[in-house]
Amino acid sequence: MFPIKAPGPDGYPAHFFQHHWDTCGDDVTKEVVRIVEGMESAESINDTILVLIPKVKNPNLLTQFRPINLCNVLYKIASKVISNRLKLVLPDIISEEQSDFVP
């Protein structure tokens, strides 16, 4: 995660959590574990803002914009944990014909 690339809807970039991990790390970890284990819904951290950044000066076509999404840091952490867990089982549940989807 880039530390100050794009803050989420809550306004806190990843740098805030990295810099203050000694203060907020335990709470972040507990919250992410509760979400990953299904004890709590991710709805509270799933607010995302979609922003269109122009690729050229004075754009007038939709293709001249680059979409980026601004997610909460907790959501990024939880989704990364879930995707890493899925990487372990995907090769076993995806057939040979669909193996292009497995790295």
Cβ–Cβ < 8 Å for 35, 46: no
Q: Give CA–CA dist 67/53, Å, rounded.
A: 6
Residue 95 lies inside a defined structural domain of this protein: no
pLDDT of residue 9: 67
Which residue range forms the structural domain that includes residue 81? 14-86
Residue 68 lies in a domain: yes
- Is 8 within a domain? no
In this structure, is residue 96 part of a structural domain?
A: no
Terminal alpha carbon distance of the chain: 21
Smallest Cα–Cα separation from 70: which of 18, 20, 2? 2
Total structural domains within the chain: 1
| 18-60: pLDDT as tens digits | 889 999 899 989 988 998 888 888 887 877 788 899 999 999 9
Looking at the domain assignment, is residue 98 inside a domain? no
**Measured distance CA(28)–CA(24) in Å, rounded:** 6
- Does the pTM exceed 0.75? no
**Is 71 within a domain?**
yes
User: 53 lies in a domain?
Assistant: yes
DSSP 8-state class, residue 1: -
Is 15's pLDDT higher than 70?
yes
Half-sphere exposure in the Cβ direction for 42 (13 Å, CA): 19
